[in-house]
């Protein structure tokens, strides 16, 4: 019997279940945006190739591209039919209306991102939401520390300060936030940014270690802005306690680069369906490499 079935998992799972297993076995679960069918196919296929659980998500900033009500049925169908456990997640939900649209559409976990608010307001509102969400068996992720962003469709983070350490999550505040809010996962800042890096990222793994020691054992720590970080640093972060690793921008850009190169080198007209099929396979191969790093040597 495959290990996932030995755990008693169905393939569509609550995020809390797979993060608990990842914490126990010191590996990380990839969390990747799937705003298009091509990305959805390639990413879930890669998780099946590696045999790892996966979190697929829909970000509020992508809702103008595809409404959550329209993409949710496909995400949930893929999750139910996958050969590995899959959680469907709302990423960087800020507007409560959007979040509840996602919940009504079948999402079983939510990131309620109020990280730009003062600590007390962030804690108060996330705590209230977590109580309601848990009563509905919906797991909750929050963020503490304000991660900078280079994206035009910003997640809410400001431009990078002169010293990125100004954005780092305070371990004492993280401990208080995690204990009082009861969130299942907490996104923390220790050197990453959203979007494309303008200089080589350097993660502070020692700071992540302090954060891991400060928060309750049952709280999963989340690393956002992971794409663009070299694999060695990601592997160090996983070993130090990052249980959920969000990755998107560089994967999306790599898919575009591959498709453009394929067209440029073809020397003849390329049918769109052939282009997308080849790109899906490239996404799958690239994502397989990522998920292998996140697995941290764990055998599923």
Q: Is 77 annotated as catalytic?
A: no
CB 294 within 8 A of CB 26: no
What mean pLDDT do residues 80-94 have?
96
Closest-CA residue to 169 (of 275, 265, 241, 259): 241
pLDDT tens digits along 237-267: 999 999 999 999 999 999 999 999 999 999 9
Could you give the CA distance from residue 155 to residue 142 in angstroms, rounded to a whole number?
13
What mean pLDDT do residues 228-242 have?
95
Mean pLDDT of the chain: 91
Could you give the CA distance from residue 177 to residue 135 in angstroms, rounded to a whole number?
20
Confidence of residue 8 (pLDDT cuts 50, 70, 90): low
The answer on pLDDT for 228 being more than 90 is no
Domain boundaries, the chain: 3-294
pLDDT tens digits along 124-159: 999 999 999 999 999 999 999 877 655 544 444 444
Task: Give, in order, the Cα–Cα distances in Å from 180 to each of 96, 126, 226, 298.
Answer: 21, 10, 27, 32
CATH of domain 3-294: 3.20.20.70
Residue 149: its pLDDT value, please? 57
Out of 63, 91, 170, 184, pick the active-site residue: 91
What mean pLDDT do residues 39-43 have?
98
Q: Distance of alpha carbon 173 from its chain centroid, rounded? A: 22
């Amino acid at each position: 019997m495959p290990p996932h079935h030995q755990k008693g998992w169905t393939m569509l799972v609550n995020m809390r279940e797979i993060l608990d297993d990842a914490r126990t076995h010191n590996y990380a679960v990839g969390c990747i945006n799937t705003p298009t069918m091509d990305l959805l196919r390639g990413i879930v296929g890669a998780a099946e190739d590696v045999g790892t659980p996966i979190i697929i998500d829909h970000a509020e900033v992508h809702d103008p591209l595809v409404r959550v009500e329209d993409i949710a049925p496909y995400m949930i169908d893929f999750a139910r039919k996958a050969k590995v456990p899959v959680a469907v997640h709302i990423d960087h939900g800020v507007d409560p209306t959007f979040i509840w649209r996602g919940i009504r559409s079948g999402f079983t976990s939510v990131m309620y991102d109020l990280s730009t608010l003062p600590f007390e307001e962030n804690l108060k509102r996330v705590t209230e939401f977590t109580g309601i969400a848990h009563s509905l068996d919906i797991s909750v992720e929050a963020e503490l520390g304000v991660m900078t962003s280079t994206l035009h469709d910003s997640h809410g983070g400001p431009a990078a300060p002169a010293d990125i350490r100004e954005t780092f999550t305070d371990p004492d505040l993280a401990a208080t936030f995690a204990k009082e809010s009861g969130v299942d996962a907490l996104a923390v800042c220790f050197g990453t940014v959203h979007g494309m890096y303008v200089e080589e990222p350097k993660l502070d793994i020692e700071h992540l270690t302090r954060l891991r020691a400060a928060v309750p054992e049952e709280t999963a720590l989340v690393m956002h802005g992971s794409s663009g970080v070299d694999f060695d640093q990601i592997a160090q972060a996983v070993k130090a306690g990052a249980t959920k690793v969000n990755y998107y921008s560089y994967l999306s850009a790599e898919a575009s680069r591959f498709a453009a190169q394929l067209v440029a080198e073809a020397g003849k007209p390329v049918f769109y369906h052939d282009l997308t099929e080849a790109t899906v396979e490239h996404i799958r191969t690239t994502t397989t490499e990522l998920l292998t790093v996140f697995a941290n040597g764990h055998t599923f």
